[in-house]
Amino acid sequence: MSLKSINHNDLRIEKDMYGKNFLTLADFSSSEIEYLISLALTLKKKQKLGIPHEYLKGKTLGMIFEKSSTRTRVSFEVGMYQLGGHASFLSSRDLQLGRGESINDTAKVLSRYLDGVMIRTFDHQTIEEFASASSIPVINGLTNSHHPAQVLADLMTIKEYKGDLKGLKLCFIGDGNNNMTHSLIEGAALTGMNISVASPKNYEPNQSILNQAIQIATTNDCHITLTNDPEEAIDQADVVITDVWASMGQEDEQTERMEQLAPYQINQALCEKAKPNYIFLHCLPAHRGEEVTAEIIDGKHYVVFDEAENRLHAQKALLKVLLSD
My answer on whether omega of the bond before 137 falls inside 30° of 0, hence cis, is no
Q: Which residues, other chains included, contact 262 with Cβ-Cβ below 8 Å and sequence gap of 6+? A: none
What proportion of the chain, given as a percentage, has pLDDT over 70? 96
Known binding positions:
69-72, 96, 120, 147-150, 179, 243, 247-248, 283-284, 311
Cβ neighbours for 211, distance < 8 A, ≥ 6 positions apart = none
**pLDDT tens digits along 227-255:** 999 999 999 999 999 999 987 677 788 89
Give the catalytic positions in this structure.
120, 147, 150, 243, 283, 311
Binding residues for L-ornithine: 179, 243, 247-248
Question: What pLDDT, on a 0 to 100 scale, did the predictor assign at position 6?
Answer: 53
Name the fold adopted by 150-307. Answer: Rossmann fold (3.40.50)
pLDDT digit string, tens, across residues 184-234: 999 999 999 999 999 999 999 999 999 999 999 999 999 999 999 999 999
Give me the chain's average pLDDT, please. Answer: 94
Strand order in 138-142's β-sheet? 86-91, 60-65, 116-120, 138-142
From first CA to last CA, the distance across the chain in angstroms is: 25
Residue 90: strand, helix, or coil: strand
Is residue 5 over pLDDT 70? no
pLDDT at 202: 94
Amino acid, single-letter form, for residue 271: C
Phi first, then psi, for residue 63 (nearest 5°) are -125, 110
CA distance 174 to 292: 10
Instruction: Name which of 23-37, 48-62, 87-101, 264-278 the model is least confident about.
Output: 87-101
d(CA 194, CA 232): 13
Q: What does the pLDDT look like over 131-182, one tens digit per residue?
A: 999 999 999 999 999 999 999 999 999 999 999 999 999 999 999 999 999 9
Q: How many CB atoms lie within 10 A of CB 276?
A: 6
C-beta separation of 161 from 4 below 8 A: no
Q: What percent of the chain has pLDDT over 90?
A: 88
Domain with CATH 3.40.50.1370 in the chain: 8-147+311-323, 150-307
Give the pLDDT confidence score for residue 98 in this predicted structure. Answer: 55
- Cα(39)–Cα(215) distance, integer angstroms: 26
Q: What are the phi and psi torsion angles at 301 (to 5°)? A: -95, -5
Mean per-residue pLDDT, 72-87: 98
Report the amino acid identity of residue 263: P
CATH architecture of 8-147+311-323: 3-Layer(aba) Sandwich (3.40)
